[in-house]
Amino acid sequence: MENLVQSTYNDAIKSGVVVVDVGANWCPDCRRIKPVVEAMSKEYAGKAKFYEVDFSEEEALKDSLGIKRIPTIIFYKDGVEVGTRLVEPASRTPIEDALKSLL
């Protein structure tokens, strides 16, 4: 998964299906869900793009996205946020269900 920063965000989400995982290394729930999202990024390669945003490092991006709690998973299709954001997802199932609905 590629890291996203404020300057690359708009280009990254502008086409196709994109999954953005906003988290931080110090967050236990983020560390728990990160391997799940990384595995999905490999499984869905060519169908969706996966990125991560470091909550602690990307203050301006976090604020512009309105992120209050992490981990937060955001889904985009052709540059538009779609579906419901997943805040603190407990397992792979809700992430995969949301992704499959976009493919």
Per-residue pLDDT of the chain (103 residues; tens, 9 = 90+): 899 999 999 999 999 999 999 999 999 999 999 999 999 999 999 999 999 999 999 999 999 999 999 999 999 999 999 988 999 999 999 999 999 999 9
* Amino acid at site 81: E
- Please give the model's pTM, rounded to 2 decimal places: 0.95
Active site residue: 1, 12, 16, 27, which one? 27
Q: Phi/psi zone of residue 26: left (φ > 0), alpha (ψ -120 to 50 degrees), beta?
A: alpha
Give Cα separations from 51 to 31, 37 (angstroms): 15, 9
Which are the contacts of 96, defined by CB distance < 8 A and separation ≥ 6? Answer: 40
Is 33 an annotated catalytic residue?
A: no
Is 9 an annotated catalytic residue?
A: no
How many domains is the chain built from? Answer: 1
Tokens 């729930």 — which residue? Answer: 29
> Cα 33 vs. chain centroid, distance in angstroms?
11
Strand 86-87 to 17-23 pairing = unpaired
Active site residue: 20, 22, 24, 30, which one? 30
CATH number of the domain within which 94 lies: 3.40.30.10
Which are the contacts of 80, defined by CB distance < 8 A and separation ≥ 6? Answer: none
CB 58 within 8 A of CB 46: no
Domain residues for 72?
A: 2-102
